[in-house]
Structure formats: C-alpha cells, structure tokens
Amino acid sequence: DVAAVAAVNGTDHVVVGSTLVGLFDAQVARTPDATAVVFEGERLSYGEFDARVNRLARRLIEAGVGPDVLVAVAARRSVELLVGIYAVLKAGGAYVPLDPDHPVERTEYVLDTARPVVVLAGAGVSVPGPAGTEVWQLGSIDLDGYSAGPVGDSERRARLRGSNIAYVIFTSGSTGRPKGVAVPHDGIVNRLEWMQAQYPLAASDVVVQKTPVTFDVSVWELFWPLQVGATLVIARPDGHRDPLYMADLIEAESVTTAHFVPSMLSAFTAVVEPGRVPSLRQVFCSGEALTPQAAQAFVALGDAALHNLYGPTEASVDVTFHEYSAADVVDVPIGAPVWNTRVQVLDDRLHPVPVGVAGELYLCGVQLARGYVGRPDLSADRFVACPFGHGERMYRTGDLVKWVESASGGLELVYIGRTDFQVKLRGLRIELGEIEAALLDQPEVAQAVVVV
C-alpha cells in the first residue's frame, strides 16, 4: 500500500508560468485580434478586452492597489465584471468576489473582514462599504487619460510574484461566520497549467462562464480560456439555473467546454434531448458527488467526455481528477492527484489507512491556500504540519474517502462523505452551524430553544 500510494503521489512537474497576469499578457501578445470575450451579442478581441482592463488597472494602482492588497468586486455576470476582476489582478492586487444577492449582513461581515481598499460595484448593485472604503461603480469610472498599453511591474507598487494572493473567496463557516480563503498565484497557476496539459484547449475552443464568482470553479472558467487563445462566452445573470437557456447558449455559440455541478447536470440531461449540443466535447463536474446514474444520463446525450474533479477552495479549486467510463457502475471515483499535489488518507492518529478502508483526506503541495484572512486560529486548525514531509503543511479536508484500485492497476480515491456537519447544496458548501447560528439570532427561535 505504501509503495502504491507513493506512486500515485509522484506528481512533481515543472510549471513555467508564475502569475495569472503573466499568462494572460503573453496570450494577448500572441493573438490580439482573436475573439476573447462574448456576452449577449457583444464581442471583444483580446486586444480590446486588454485595453479596457489596463486602463482600470492603472486607476486602481493610483488608488493604492498592489500585491496582497484586496479589492472587492460586486457585479452580476457581465463584461464589466470580467474587466473588474482582471484589472484588480493587473494592478497586482487580489480580488474578493461578492454576490449582489447575498444578505446585507453577510456582505458587511465579508467586507469588515477583508478590508478591501476599493469595492468595484456593477450596474444596479449597492454595496454597504465599510467606513473609509471607496465604492466605485464600474460603469461610471472616469478612465480618460489612463493608458491602454501593457501594465508592467515598474508601474505597480511592488513586483507581482507567484507567492502573492490572487483571490480571496469566502466560504461557509461552522460558527455562522464565513471564512475567507486566500489563494496565491502559484497554486492556481499550477492548477490551470495542469488542466491545459490534461485537457488541451485550442484557439477554436469556446468555454462558457456560468459559475457564480463566489464559487471557486469560476476561477478556471474565467482564466483558463484566455491564457491559451480560446474564447470565453459569459452566460447571462442567473442563466446557470436554466438548463434550456444553457442548451440554447451552448448551441448558439458552439461551446465546447463547460462545467456542471452534478445536480445541475441532472437537470440539464432531464430536458435536453440527445444530439442537441453536438459542439460539446468535454464537460467537467465538481462541487458534489457525481453518481453513476447522473453520469450515464449525460453521456447518452452525445460524444462529450465527462470528467469528475474534486477539490476544496483551500486547495486552488481542484486536486484530483477522473474520467468517467462505463466501468463506473458503483461509484464514480474522484481519481488521482494533479501536478505537484500529494494526497493522504489518514486515521484519527494521522496514520495511513489500508486500501479500501475509509479515512480522512489530507492534501499537500503547491496548491494549498495561504490560509484564512484574519483568522489565524482557523488556519492553524485546518492547515497542519505534515508528518510525511520536511516541514510542509497539509490541509485537513474533513472529507471521508478510501483508496481503490483503478482500471489501470494503480490507486485512486472514492469519495464517501463528510466527517463533520458540512453539506453541499448545488455545489455550495454550507455549514449547518451557520444555519443554526442564524436561527438563534431570531429572538422567537432562541426563546423556543430555551423553553424546550
């Protein structure tokens, strides 16, 4: 077992890129006239999109944005949302996505915790910015006089490095308080370069961006296609909830690559007839357990390959992968680790468990987040010392898994469930403690609990 696990974890690989910005800039230089972004009839070339990003980036630098400086972005899916996110990164900063439809109290807590220097708000979005934080409306920022040319390190407040934070995504917290996961460029660049090597996109490929930006799957949708010369099609706000709209969009724009949370994949297959979306060639699932039944229903629609990915926000989106096949009749495995990532299945004493025995999944490697913003206590609880390495950290996922033999004779992982009270709803992590805390904030509920 030890040798087999070591073989699976032999994932060392040299990654050429260092930051999301560097990868995008290189692609703009290669294909400035190619179509980069499509949204509701609007089409922007790489050069046109980059020019809009660069102007806003310079305005952000002027406002004090630089490496490890946070900027919140609150906008519904649109070109301006994409421009805002890319501009934050071009300035050297890290973006903090906000959902305009989240409760005001949650947004206030996120902003109080993250303390962004600027909040970029989309059309029709009102944000309760903390005292001293500027709120800019994306559609009305005066960018006259700001150059559209490439932004270099000499203009930034400091050199942008792979160790700097790229984004902070707030996930559900067990005490009723969401926690902000700070992910550096190194981790997400490793994830994206692995994805391009494993599932190559060409210039002719079209990727649909439909995942809410507060969910980390959105990260690969937002950045992967624009690092390799493909086209990014942005779904309309709330469009990801409508399977018929998604089918129409995939058909109209000849989308080749998409992501579905398994529950949404089932909704999609329930209303889309076989042969309706022939352009699709690869679909990725993550966020929930993928059942063989859901997978079988999808592959019956056409010729697209179906890939099951797994990973927490704390490890740069995804850390394991498996391509569904007809042999997956009992479980659809979550697979084996990606580049520069090691996985361990351990018992309560941090000892490895045998093949076929359930244990908790721990993660090591370059994709681990820096930790939780403003919560060193939570960071110390979840990011622990690895007993198998040389001073490196490992992330305690709270997920129960087991090793099984793969069709090729190696080992891969099967997901079993949780060790705690966390649940998934349409791919979103929800701590039941957060619901409990919200209920207990209601006087009538608290009184009832006391009476009982």
Residue 445's pLDDT band (cuts 50, 70, 90): low
Residue 442's pLDDT band (cuts 50, 70, 90): low
Mind listing the pLDDT tens digit for each residue in 65-110? 999 999 999 999 999 999 999 999 999 999 999 999 999 999 999 9
> Any idea where the domains of the chain sit in the sequence?
20-160
Structure tokens at 400: 């129960």
Residue 430's pLDDT band (cuts 50, 70, 90): low
CA atoms within 13 A on the CB side of 225: 26
Please name the helix (run of DSSP H) or strand (run of DSSP E) that holds residue 422, with its range, or none.
strand 422-425
For residue 433, pLDDT over 90 is answered with no
Share of the chain above pLDDT 70, in %: 92
What value does the mean pLDDT take over residues 426-439? 51
Mind listing the pLDDT tens digit for each residue in 31-71? 999 999 999 999 999 999 999 999 999 999 999 999 999 99
Measured at the CA of 319, the angle between CA 70 and CA 348, to 5 degrees, comes to 100
> Which stretches of 91-184 are DSSP H helices?
104-114
Share of the chain above pLDDT 90, in %: 87
Domain 20-160 -> CATH class: alpha beta
Plot region of 350 (φ>0 → left; ψ -120 to 50 → alpha; else → beta): left
Mind listing the pLDDT tens digit for each residue in 264-277? 999 999 999 999 99
Question: Own/partner pairs for 9-15, CB < 8 Å, 24+ apart?
Answer: 9/337, 9/342, 9/343, 11/337, 11/338, 11/339, 11/340, 11/341, 11/342, 11/365, 12/339, 12/340, 13/194, 13/339, 13/340, 15/189, 15/190, 15/193, 15/339, 15/340, 15/366
For residue 363, pLDDT over 50 is answered with yes
Residue 357's pLDDT band (cuts 50, 70, 90): very high
Mind listing the pLDDT tens digit for each residue in 100-112? 999 999 999 999 9
What value does the mean pLDDT take over residues 374-387? 95
Helix axis angle, 20-30 to 46-62, nearest 10°: 140
For residue 237, pLDDT over 80 is answered with yes
Question: Which pTM was predicted?
Answer: 0.92
Which pLDDT score, from 0 to 100, does residue 332 have? 98
Mind listing the pLDDT tens digit for each residue in 298-355? 999 999 999 999 999 999 999 999 999 999 999 999 999 999 999 999 999 999 999 9
